[in-house]
Each structure stands twice: as C-alpha cells, then as structure tokens.
Structure 1
Amino acid sequence: MQQKGENMANSFRSIGLIARSTSVIGNQLFQRDDLQNNQFIYLMRIFENPGITQTELANQLHVDRSTCLRTVRKLIEHHYVARQSDAANKKLRPLVATDKGRAIYPELEAYEQHILAIGTHGLSAGEQLILEELLGKVAANVQDYQLTQD
C-alpha cells in the first residue's frame, strides 16, 4: 500500500512528465519553423503580451535572465520577434512579435489547445476546474518558496 508522501511524489513526477512531454512534442512539431528548445513558448508569451520586457518575460516563464536572453536573441535572429524603442525610457527594449511571429501564432495556439484537450480528455468540467484550482495552488506555493531562495 502506498503512503501519502509516496502518492504526492508520484503526483509531482506526473507534473514533470507532462511538462517534459509537451515540450518535446512542441519542439518536434515546430522544429521545421526553426523554433527549438521551447522557443515556441517564448514566442507565444511575447505575442500575447506585446511590449513585454525581457525581464518580465523571464519572470513570467520562471527562467533565468541569461536563458531568456539567449532564446530571445534566437527569435530575433529568425525574425519572429523584434525589439522596439521605448520613448519614455531608452533603457527599455520592449519585445513584439514580427509579421512572421504573428503568422505562426495561430498554429502555436492550436497546439496548446490540442495538448490541453488530450491532457484533460475524460475529465468532467467540474474535474477540470478542480484540477486548475489545485495546480494553481501548488504552483503558487512552489513560486513563493522559490522567491525565498533567491
């Protein structure tokens, strides 16, 4: 018989498996578009938040600044993203999706919706709401802990 702690460990392992699997599938799917190493996730967030700064993007994705910088540079190099100038603050260089980035977004969003549908297949609407609520709480707890470690 499994104990409570063992069940929780398996739940966290399941979260990791979901994250890795969806990342691998997305990387394979968008490799033909030169979007690798989770660049498609960054592009989605930039598209959804026009004018986001690189620091805000790193915070939103919970990655370190150097990882975010490398990924943004590659997105710029492949013409998916551009840096703008901020008239009020010359130090800020907000990020926006280019025409190429905007053109591929519907495919990225369709992938996200498809993965969500696969992942929640067989769950009732109520179960989906409970899952969303519980995962939100777990994510907030982990994020709060992470902030105490920095």
Structure 2
Amino acid sequence: MKETIEYENIGRYFSQMYRKGRIFYAHELKKFGLGSGQSIFLFQLYKKDGVTQDELANTLYIDKGTTARSLKTLENQGFIKKENLITDKRSNIIYLTPKALKLEKEITNILRKWDSILSSSLSEEEKNTLLVLLKKISDSNGLK
C-alpha cells in the first residue's frame, strides 16, 4: 500500500480565494451591469485615471487581448472613454467617465467589503503581517 504524503500547497489557497472573490464580485457588481473581469480595471483606474491601455495591462499583469476586450465592454457600458495618444495613434489613453466616477464609492466599497470578509477572523496584527507577506510574495523575482 502506497503511503500518501500530505503537502500543504500555498497556491491552492490563493486559487480558492481568487475563485471565491470572483463569485463575490460578480454577485455584488451585477447591479451595475459589471462583471468581475471588468472590475479590476475600474479599481485600477480609480487609483490612477488617464493611463494608456498598455500601462493598465502591464500593471495588472493581464494580456493585451483580454485588456482590450474588457475595456471595450467598459466603454460600451459608458464607464470609460478612450482617447488616441497624440504621439502614437495606435495607443489609447483610458479615462473614467462621469458615470464611473459617480459610482466610485459604491464600487470601491465592494472591494473593501471583500477585504473585510477575507480578514474577519484575523487580528489587526495578523492582517498587517499577512499584507507584508503577500506583498513580499507578489514582489518576488520568481513571479515576474
């Protein structure tokens, strides 16, 4: 009989949180006509508006095709507008529209709500430690 070796896989927990988060965001954002796939772009644009499409893709580590499709959806729904870069007509600068800005507080509160759910069983010290560790993992050379 083969002995099974139990191995705790860190990636498994990241994957579970990611999937649960997508379900949560999909449910919460439905009232705005948004999916979880578009929300990440809005969250980033709320941090820094008026960036190029390439900059968004690179910052979020999302391929250019997926970025283009998500931004097209957001544009069609009236959340963003694209303007051609004067120096390079092939590049677009992405701006939030008044519609998106009006919903900023509600939409960013959904992000805060998910963070609160994730950390509800942690002390303040544990939350801070977790953030430090997650940043360290995310910034490691092996993940670029």
TM-score by length of 1: 0.83
Amino acid at match of 2:48: N
Tell me if structure 2 keeps the 8 A contact 1:26–1:38.
no
Give the CA deviation at 1:12. Answer: 1.7
Matched, 1:145 2:142: yes
Q: Report the counterpart of residue 127 of structure 2 in structure 1.
A: 128
Give the CA deviation at 1:25. Answer: 1.1
* Pairing of 1:79-98 with structure 2 (within 5 A): 79-87=78-86, 90-98=89-97
What CA RMSD, in Å, does the superposition of the two structures yield over aligned residues?
2.0
Identity between Structure 1 and Structure 2 (%): 21
Amino acid at match of 1:49: K
Give the CA deviation at 1:111. Answer: 0.7
Q: Unmatched 5+ residue regions in structure 1?
A: none
Give the CA deviation at 1:90. Answer: 4.6
Q: Report the counterpart of residue 46 of structure 1 in structure 2.
A: 45
Tell me if structure 2 keeps the 8 A contact 1:81–1:101.
yes
Amino acid at match of 1:145: G
Q: 1:14 to 1:146 in 2, by over 3 A?
A: closer
Give the CA deviation at 1:124. Answer: 1.7
**Structure number with higher helix proportion:** 1
Tell me if structure 2 keeps the 8 A contact 1:47–1:96.
no
Instruction: Could you list the structure 1 runs, at least 4 aligned residues long, displaced by more than 6 angstroms after superposition.
Output: none
**Structure number with higher strand proportion:** 2
Tell me if structure 1 keeps the 8 A contact 2:25–2:36.
no
Q: Unmatched 5+ residue regions in structure 2?
A: none
In 1: Cα distance, 2:82 partner to 2:46 partner: 13
Amino acid at match of 2:93: P
